[in-house]
Amino acid sequence: MSIHTDRHARRGASGLIDGLRAALRGDVIDPAHAEYDAARSVWNGLIDRHPAVIARCADAADAAEAVRLARTFRPPVSIRGGGHQVAGSAVCDDGLVIDLSAMRGVEVDADRRVALVQGGARWGDVDTATQRVGLAVPGGEVSTTGVAGFTLGGGMALTSRQFGLSCDNLRAVEVVTADGEVHRADRDQHADLFWAARGAGRGIGVVTSFEFDLHPLGPEVAAATVFYPYGEAGRILRAWRELAPAMPETVTPQLILWSVPRDPAIPEALHGEKCVIVTGVYAGPADEADAALAPLRRLVTPLHDMTATVSYVEQQSSVDDLFPDGNRYFMKALGFDGLDDAAIDSLLAWDARRPTPESLIALRTLGGAVARVGSTQSAFPHRRDRFNLSIDAGWSDPGQDASAIGWARGMWDALRPFSNGGVYVNFAGLDDDAGAAREHLFGDSAKRLADVRTSYDPEGVFAAAAQRP
């Protein structure tokens, strides 16, 4: 950057910061602020971005003021919900972060079975509030994950084959568009904005609240968690490709290649051993679950079976500790219409090279209610996928950056020919940053999405946010 433009940028940044300080009720955090480093960190410790200013909004009016100032000063804009996107897209370099992390309110109307959730809430906030009245919305399986990014990208939950993606349960969103106005978008008003918010909602505006339909579920659920010997992975996967999609819709089965966690409830002799983990939560009364969950428990002889009836809130936070904040993560994802023998062999060959004990691969099963939503009803483009694969490298030593990232990239390259080429935006990482991957992120929705973005944001106030997963 030249001295000339640098001086302009500084003057622009100070005008923006002064404007935010004058207009917002919430905190305005610049690089001199004591909380700057904490406020710019996200879940993924690999991300080290330095925004010019962070506008920590107290309410929708603050978000609207921040957008109006962004329109005047034209900084790159990012929007922070829970800060969990692995690509770190909640934060930007040298720009404005519109940070909703202080807006975590959840209101539940038990009679109407509706929850109103603020744009910075975490799934733990929602589950705690809705479970007080025995209701639930399909949400994240780690309680600290943000509702906003999760839902705007679709949202694959442990109950999605029964209740749909998180975005399928939206009744409406409140969104600040690029003109600084606050709109309600639903099936009737701003229907194109609502269409985009269900699966491709990055860069359409700042969503300040989500209105969800709720389902009776809990306070206890039956949850299968079964650990199988790693040596049986090939046999299990060959059975899985038929069994998982044929399971009743009350079960959304997941298969994970990982290591046995160091959990005191599991025999110590197994801790750290490579294994196949099969999970499934029954999306109905816990005492009716046995028959539906049984096939997950007898794939071969298990190493350990933790299937139990647990509180829904406990289930939804049971793996939180396995994904600690500040560790280093790199993810890649692919959609599959099926898995033939060659795909399974390649998957296992790459899995055998998993670089660290924290790294894993997860195979989620779609179908059921997810597949029944028409492709023009929402922008989520992966409705017909049978499986979603995420390749999740995790590590803590920066010296392992190259090997961990190299493994995830190598596996993705090897498996891509067997996939349908689709990449689920919520699992998209740094390789999908900077707009390189619009087509595989948004598929058939890409063109309509571009039109919606242009009509609501002709000046490109959210252009930087739209370029990031």
Ligand X SMILES: Cc1cc2nc3c(=O)[nH]c(=O)nc-3n(C[C@H](O)[C@H](O)[C@H](O)COP(=O)(O)OP(=O)(O)OC[C@H]3O[C@@H](n4cnc5c(N)ncnc54)[C@H](O)[C@@H]3O)c2cc1C
Contacts with ligand X, residue ranges (CB under 6 A):
43, 78-85, 89-90, 100, 119, 140-142, 145-146, 148-150, 152-153, 155-156, 202, 206-207, 323, 426, 465, 468
**166, 151 Cβ separation under 8 angstroms:** yes
Comparison of 35 and 268: residue with beta carbon closer to ligand X: 35
For the CA atoms of 294, 295, 300, 303, the dihedral, rounded to the nearest 10 degrees, stands at -40
Q: Spell out the residues 6+ positions from residue 404 whose beta carbon is closer than 8 angstroms to its own.
A: 328, 330, 355, 356, 359, 393, 394, 395
**Minimum CB separation from ligand X for residue 152, in Å?**
5
For ligand X, the closer of residues 66 and 90 by Cβ is 90
H/E element, 223: strand 220-229
Query: 152 or 237: whose CB is closer to ligand X?
Result: 152
In the complex with ligand X, the residue whose CB is nearer, 19 or 82, is 82
Query: Of the candidates 246, 284, 243, 276, which has an alpha carbon nearest to the alpha carbon of residue 259?
Result: 276
Closer to ligand X by Cβ: residue 307 or 316: 316
What residues contact 102, with CB distance under 8 A and at least 6 apart? 26, 27, 56, 57, 58, 120
Among candidates 435, 271, 257, which has minimal Cα distance to 349?
257
- CB nearer to ligand X: pick between 241 and 364: 364
Backbone torsion region of residue 29, taken as left when φ is above 0, otherwise alpha when ψ lies between -120 and 50, otherwise beta: beta
- The CB-of-24 to ligand X minimum distance in angstroms stands at 16
> How many CB atoms neighbour CB 89 within 10 A?
28
**CA atoms within 13 Å, Cβ hemisphere of 104:** 16
The secondary structure element, H or E, covering residue 172 is strand 170-176
Pick the closer one to ligand X by CB: 17 or 156. 156
**Helix count and strand count (H, E) for the chain:** 16, 19
Kindly tell me which of 65 and 302 has the beta carbon lying closer to ligand X: 65
Tokens for 404, please give them. 């961990």
What is the residue type of 19? G
Least distance CB 244 / ligand X (angstroms): 16
State the Cα–Cα distance between residues 117 and 171, nearest whole angstrom.
12
Rounded CA separation 276/229 (Å): 6
Of 36 and 323, nearer to ligand X (C-beta) is 323
Residues 442 and 425: their CA atoms lie apart, in Å, by: 8
Q: How far is the CB of 59 from ligand X (least distance, A)?
A: 13
CB of 18 to ligand X, least distance (A): 25
CB of 426 to ligand X, least distance (A): 4
Are 96 and 55 within 8 A, CB to CB? yes
Closest contact distance (angstroms) between CB of 274 and ligand X is: 21
* Complex with ligand X: residue 303 or 393, whichever CB lies closer: 393
- CB contact at 8 A, 87 and 66: no
* Residue 147 Cβ vs ligand X, minimum distance, rounded to whole Å: 7
Q: How far is the CB of 351 from ligand X (least distance, A)?
A: 19
Q: Least separation, in Å, of the C-beta of 125 and ligand X? A: 12
